[in-house]
Amino acid sequence: MAHTETHEKTLADKILERTGVDVRECYQCGKCTAGCPMVQFMDLTPSQVMRLVQIGDREAVQTLLSSQTLWSCVGCLTCTQRCPKDLDPAAVMDALREIAYQEGLVPDAQRNVLKFHQAFLKTVEHTGRMSEVPLTALYKTLSRDFFSDVLLAPAMLLRGKLPLVPRVIGGRKEVRRIFKRCLDPERPDRADEETQEDRP
Amino acid sequence: MARVGVFICHCGENIGRTVDCAAVAKAAEAFPGVVKSVDYKYMCSDPGQQMIKDAIRDERLTGVVVGACSPRMHEPTFRRAAFEAGLNPYLLEMANLREHCSWVHEDRPVATEKAIDLMRVMVEKVKKNAELRPIRVPVEPTALVIGGGIAGIQAALDIAGGGKKVILVERSPSLGGHMARLSETFPTLDCSQCILTPRMVEAANHPNITLMTYSEVTKVDGFIGNFEVTVRQKARYVDPEKCTGCGACFEKCPAKKIPSEFDAALGNRTAIYRPFPQAVPNKPVIDAEHCIMLTKGKCGICAKVCPTGAIKYDDKDREVIVKVGAIVVATGFELWDHSAYGEYGAGRLEDVINGFQFERLASASGPTTGEIRRPSDGRIAESVVFIQCCGSRDPKRGVPYCSKICCMYTAKHAILYRHKVHHGRAVVFYMDVRAGGKGYDEFVRRAIETEGAEYIRGRVSRIYRRKDGRLVVKGADTLAGRPVEIVADMVVLADAIVPQPGASRLAQMLGVSYDEYGFYSEAHPKLRPVETAKAGVFLAGACQAPKDIPESVAQASAAAAKVLGLFSQPELEREPIVAKVNEVTCVHCRACIQACPYGAIEDKEIKDSKGNLIRTVACVNEGECQGCGTCVAVCRSGSIDLDGFTDEEVLAEIAALE
Amino acid sequence: MTTPIGYYPGCSLHGTGRELDQSIRALAEVAGVDLREIKDWNCCGATAAHSLNHDLAVALPYRTLALAEDQGLAEVLAPCAACFSRLKGTAVRLARDPKLAQKMTEITERPYRGTVRILSIIEFINRLLDAGLEAKLTHPLGGLKVAPYYGCLLARGEDIVDDDPEQPSGMERALVAAGCEVVPWNFAVECCGGGLSMSKTEAVLDLSDAILSDAEDAQADAIVTGCPMCHSNLDMRQRTINAAGRGPHDLPVVYLSEILGLAAGIEPERLGLDRHFVDAMRVAERMTERSA
């Protein structure tokens, strides 16, 4: 196993650091798998995810970070709520997803989930809020999935649920700076000169 | 002139690993008064004890200090050796070099230094020690057994068989406990009633056993050999002398819809009832809470139909005080309440039942006469899911421990079910199968390999009732790495084993310690498994930890052997560590009398030769004093001292540290 | 109630969840509660931030909490269950982890002392009932059978949701007060697929179909929810579910605030009941005027 070969932090340690969840406590009862609403869309069951983090060798890490499961987890917390060991598999999924994203290991089949999240964040980064039209447009461009849900648009418009003018907030530059610091903590701020004008 | 011997034990590596025992022995040689100082691998072993004995004789020792483990562990061993070599045992002291030193330190030089200090302290004390003689107290050769389940019955029968008297107290109206409710027993599928009921009858008829059913212990006073126990006998409203057990009363009782405790609420009973047909004693009681006569003042049908006039509506609870020399606690267990699991229906789904309920369904004497019919509509269950570890091994919402017996009884349930419903499907969800025991693993394999039970490794996350009334069970098969969904007619939850409600209250009455769940603590987990830390109180059965029938019976017999051993002598030797009042200086402020937690101090009148009262002083009853020292601390005139721990001895210890 | 309550509509309430916004505002007006929208609030980051960057997932709600505090709001209603969960979850984490709070202060350049309490739609409505809304429910819904749907975010999340996570009951008092009959059903806390609505539509159709089916099995006339994400999956996508060969369903999905609004006698259009994909105006037909 990797952690016996090197002095690097094991995956379990990284997860503990990020989430406070010590996966060594997992005794593989399977209750998380049993209750997961998305499990049929996963290649690894939640309990297998926990097990692979416990193993933590190179092969396990590879399997985990490139798995479909991370992108199928909807964060419903059913697993966390029912875990008899009071662990938080949902938080472990979040942490693994983030690591997979940072390391560029998102599987092709899950690109749409990633694209949607990216489109969502892009929209928020630029305007401070999410607006359906720019979000959908951006998502469709990124994912090249032009046709799904198109039929819903007219009906949404009709019901006043698809405002065409994007919502923009006064502090959008401030929001952009928050994004920069979170996404790119190493890089110094370039938006400093704008600070004065967009403080509300 | 003091001649002290010092003996340093390595305790294998326990002390030797951290403390340089040879260096301690060497250092002790130089202590004033020490004439012999040695170290040895295992001082408690026969050669070790022989070293002490030889030294006492050869060196004419006046005191011995053994540096070893806790005195709780081996003080009696070493004091016996001293006694055998002709030294008063209270001239031997122990210094705890293990728990107080080697186990709690890592740095060898520092630990060695501390060990030397500990030895110096005890050497100074032992030089001040006085010879003490054990106190002899009479033993009341009658035992009290609390709990009339299989463990209590066994303990009572064994003690009675050994020729001693037993008072057997049972809270419910009948002997039998949980075992009487079981259909068959694992791993032989013996009929539970067939093997239990003869024992119940034997206990009831034994000339040495006094049976007190429908009774509860409410107060415990005294100490080993001399307990005074108050037992509340609940009003039965039926005169057991007159009642013939004919049953006319409960056949006619109009209050019929009371959930039967015996049938785990799957069947009903009347307000005047006997719990089950084979009950011992086989005489009914009236449940005052549900009796129409006792609650509304009208009805009286049972009195009318009773041919012997045995019904007494004006019966009252009675308190009886019994004197006993030993107590066996056998209060058993209860099932954890699975209504804490909202995801399993929070106890509201009728067809989700517990293990006892399944036992009653499978029992020929049960509410369905042994047919596996689901509670909601009485239809034969065509598919049953059994779920192990319900509440067990669940530190979040249940209990963290393994309940030990569920793997086995679930396998039994699956087999019984398949015997009764040949075409039925029995699915068992398990986390691990723990089948350590004679014939146990074979039994589980039999369930899987020849009886057709489907075992699936994984917990269940959710149970709900579908529109058609069947239950959907969402589980996982972690071996296959996928979720499983089973549609079942009934689900049996193997609820965790927990102590009886009120277990901790009884423990406090008895002075017995208990763990965080309420299971009673044994005196030593390995070597004293049936004793408690309270002398004269012994444990039998599942009140100590989850246990199956053979284990409960074995422990009950072991407890009985301990009781018989205690009763084999008419008197008992007690440690002479008791408080003594200096009658000359006592000012009779009575502070000690107020403070004594055992009520062991009383007034004593000092009279002259003509019988005139000169003055009154405090006086300690040696039989009751527990040597706690509270009175010593509160005595303002410094008139009380504790033998074995006199002020002089303790001050000598402290002075040795400076 | 005189102290104003802060209002964080969140992004959906200006679009897909418009009727939730409308009904909340209308209800607050009837109850005489002064709802003050937080000035210049930003998106909570929703599942996207949470999925990709945990700093961002805290920083975005942090800014809003800091704004609310700065604007003197002690309590803030977040009617959208997802926003509620993110805002309250952030508040809880900040309270527990001073280092995280320090880091967020640096990232956002805004101080936050942790004084803001976040209310869910359920807590808010129960608060209105306490403050006298019950007496104003003059148009009870004549025994409308409803299946209260809590989904994930109004049931789960220790320290966030104050209810039994498996058998929640927070909506019941309000529904009974509004003259509804609450039907027992199995899927009150099952997940609808939530934020994967657009990217994993197939999964959402499956899960939402199961929820709708169970509510129908329980003979519910409507599902009641407090979450715009659940609402759009169950209401907007109901046709898609039918078109995919499931169902067919025809079950109105209404917000708790709409139900209460109707019972308070507010016109259905003002509550946004006409904006639903599955006809919800039939729910309004159950309004009966209580004889004085």
CB-based contact A68:A42 (threshold 8 Å): yes
Q: Token pair for residue B384?
A: 């049953």
C41-52, pLDDT tens digit by residue?
A: 988 888 888 888
3-state SS, residue A162: coil
Q: Does A34 touch chain B (CB under 8 A)?
A: yes
| CA dist., res. B29 & res. C146, Å (int) | 88
Q: Do C217 and B466 touch (CB under 8 A)?
A: yes
The mean per-residue pLDDT over the stretch C100-105 comes to 91
Specify the pLDDT at position A118.
Answer: 85
Stretch C177-193: mean pLDDT: 93
Interface test with B, best of C167, C187, C212 (most B CBs within 10 A): C167
Name the minimum distance, in Å, from the CA of B429 to any CA of chain A.
10
Q: Please list the residue range(s) of chain B that carry CATH number 3.30.70.20.
A: 579-642
Residues 6 or more apart whose CB falls under 8 angstroms from that of B215 comprise: B169, B170, B171, B231, B232, B233, B234
Return the CATH class of domain B142-228+319-332+508-567.
alpha beta
The pairing of beta strand C180-182 with beta strand C144-148: parallel
Residue type (1 letter), B407: C
d(CA C58, nearest CA chain B) in Å = 27
Query: Which residue of chain A has the CA closest to C20?
Result: A161
As a whole-number percent, the residues of chain A with pLDDT over 70 amount to 80
- Smallest CA–CA distance, residue B428 to chain C, in Å, is 23
Of A121, A161, A169, the CB nearest to C16: A161
Chain A residues inside the 8 Å CB shell of B481:
33, 44-45, 47-48
The rounded distance, in Å, linking the Cα atoms of C10 and C28 is: 17
Q: Please report how the helices B108-128 and B647-655 are oriented relative to each other, as an axis angle in degrees rounded to 10.
A: 150
Q: Is the minimum CB–CB distance between B341 and chain C shorter than 8 Å?
A: yes
Of B324, B97, B365, the closest CA to residue B226 belongs to B324
As a whole number, the mean pLDDT across chain B is 95
Mean pLDDT of C172-181: 94
Contact C166 B342 (CB under 8 A): yes
Does residue B290 contact residue B258 with C-beta atoms inside 8 Å?
Answer: yes
Between residues B594 and A126, which one has the greater pLDDT? Answer: B594
Q: Read off the pLDDT of each residue in C21-39 and give the average, rounded to a whole number.
A: 91
User: Is omega for the bond preceding B281 within 30 degrees of 0, making it cis?
Assistant: yes
- Average pLDDT, integer, range B344-348: 91
Nearest residue, CB atoms, C164 vs list B342, B467, B472: B342
What confidence score (pLDDT) does residue A191 get?
44
Chain A nearest-CA residue for B392: A84
Beta bridge partners of B145: B168, B328
Q: Which fold, B4-134?
A: Rossmann fold (3.40.50)
Question: C270 vs chain B: nearest CA distance in angstroms?
Answer: 37
Residue C84's H or E segment, with its range, is helix C81-96
* CATH 3.40.50.11810 residue ranges for chain C: 138-284
Please check whether residue B349 is in contact with residue B463, taking contact to mean a CB–CB distance below 8 angstroms.
Answer: yes
Q: Of all residues in chain A, what percent are helix, strand and coil, respectively (each to 5)? A: 60, 0, 40
3-state SS string over B45-75? CHHHHHHHHHHHHHCCCCEEEEEECCHHHHH
* Chain B residue at shortest CA distance from C215: B467
Q: Which of B242, B275, B274, B250 is nearest to B261 (CA)?
A: B275
Q: Which of B395, B397, B478 sits opposite A30 (nearest CB)?
A: B478
With an 8 Å Cβ cutoff, is B339 touching chain C? no
Is 90 exceeded by the pLDDT of residue C290? no
SS3 B364: coil
Helix locations, B487-602, DSSP H: 503-510, 549-567, 591-595
Q: Which of A10-24, A164-178, C141-155 has the lowest mean pLDDT?
A: A164-178
DSSP one-letter code for B527: T
Q: Cβ distance B40 to B7 under 8 Å?
A: yes
Strand partners, B64: B5, B92
Residues pairing with B427 in the sheet = B385, B454
pLDDT recorded at residue A60: 93
Please count the residues of chain A.
Answer: 200
Query: Could you report the per-residue pLDDT of B386-425, keeping only the tens digit for each?
Result: 999 999 999 999 999 999 999 999 999 999 999 999 999 9
User: For chain C, how many residues are written?
Assistant: 292
Q: Do A182 and C59 touch (CB under 8 A)?
A: yes
pLDDT at res. A144: 64
Cα(C245)–Cα(C239) distance, rounded to whole angstroms?
10
* Number of Cβ pairs < 8 A linking chain B and chain C: 15
H or E segment to which residue A71 belongs? helix A69-72
C165 to chain B: which residues are within 8 Å by CB? Answer: 342
ipTM computed for the complex:
0.88
B579-642: in CATH 3.40.50.300: no
Tokens of B416: 């019984």
Distance CA(B169)–CA(B152), nearest Å, equals: 9
The whole-chain average pLDDT of chain C stands at 90
Record the tokens describing residue C162, joined without a space.
Answer: 């104050």
Cβ-Cβ contacts under 8 Å, A84 against chain B: 393-398, 459
Give the amino acid at B531: E
Segment 4-33 of chain A within 8 Å of chain B by CB: 27-33
* Contact at CB, A78 and C191, closer than 8 angstroms: yes
Q: Quickly list H helices, B60-171.
A: 71-84, 108-128, 150-161
Against chain C, the chains showing at least 3 CB pairs within 8 Å are A, B
Output the six-digit token pair for B501.
């409600």
DSSP state letter for A9? P
Q: Which residue has the higher pLDDT, A170 or B122?
A: B122
Task: Specify the 3-state DSSP secondary structure of B609.
Answer: coil
Q: Is B464 on the interface with C (CB under 8 A)?
A: yes
Domain C5-121 has CATH 1.20.1050.140: yes
Question: Is B485 near chain A, with CB under 8 Å?
Answer: no
Q: How far is A62 from chain B (nearest CA, A)?
A: 18
Q: What is the pLDDT of residues B128-154, one digit of tens each?
A: 999 999 888 899 999 999 999 999 999
Q: Which residues contact B135 (CB under 8 A, 6 or more apart)?
A: B573, B574, B575, B576, B578, B622, B623
Of B389, B396, B461, the CB nearest to A34: B461
**CATH topology for C138-284?**
Rossmann fold (3.40.50)
* Phi-psi map region of B379: left, alpha, beta (phi>0 left; psi -120 to 50 alpha): beta
Q: Per-residue pLDDT averaged across C115-144, rounded?
A: 92
Which residues are CB-contacts of B297 (< 8 A; sequence separation ≥ 6)? Answer: none
Instruction: List, in order, residues 6 or more apart from B107 with CB less than 8 Å away.
Output: none
The answer to whether residue C54 scores a pLDDT higher than 90 is no
B431 touches chain A (CB under 8 A): yes
B252 pLDDT higher than 60: yes
Taking CA atoms, what residue in B is nearest to C213? Answer: B467
Domain annotation for chain A: domains and CATH numbers: 2-106 (1.10.1060.10), 109-198 (no CATH)
B343 and C217 in contact by Cβ < 8 A?
no
Amino acid code (one letter) for B487:
V
Rounded percentage of chain B residues whose pLDDT exceeds 70: 100
Question: Could you tell me the CATH superfamily of domain B337-498?
Answer: FAD/NAD(P)-binding domain (3.50.50.60)
**Using N-to-C axis directions, what is the helix angle for B406-420 and B440-449, rounded to 10°?**
40
Contacts of B211 (CB under 8 A, 6+ apart): B148, B168, B170, B175, B203, B204, B280, B281
Is pLDDT of B71 > 70?
yes
Question: Of all residues in chain C, what percent carry a pLDDT higher than 90?
Answer: 62
Mean pLDDT of B345-372: 95
Q: Could you give the percent of chain C with pLDDT greater than 70? A: 97
**CA A37 to mean position of chain CA atoms:** 18
Whether A78 and chain B come into contact, CB under 8 Å, resolves to yes
Q: Is A89 helix (H, G, I), strand (E, B) or coil?
A: helix
User: In which residue ranges of chain B is CATH 3.50.50.60 found?
Assistant: 142-228+319-332+508-567, 337-498
Residue A66 C-alpha, separation from nearest chain C C-alpha, in angstroms = 15
And the tokens for B202? 């034997």
**Could you give the 3-state DSSP secondary structure of residue A21?**
coil
Q: How many angstroms away from the CA of C196 is the closest CA of chain A?
A: 7
pLDDT of residue C197: 66
- CATH 3.40.50 boundaries in chain B: 4-134
pLDDT per residue as tens digits for the range B264-321? 999 999 999 999 999 999 999 999 999 999 999 999 999 999 999 999 999 999 999 9
B353 CB neighbour count, 10 Å cutoff = 24
Return d(Cα B544, Cα B541) in angstroms, integer.
6
Do C223 and C189 contact (CB within 8 A), yes or no? no
Chain C's closest residue to B469, CA to CA, is C217
Identify from C93, C161, C196, C269 which residue to disrupt to test chain A contact, counting A C-beta atoms within 10 A and taking the largest count. Answer: C196
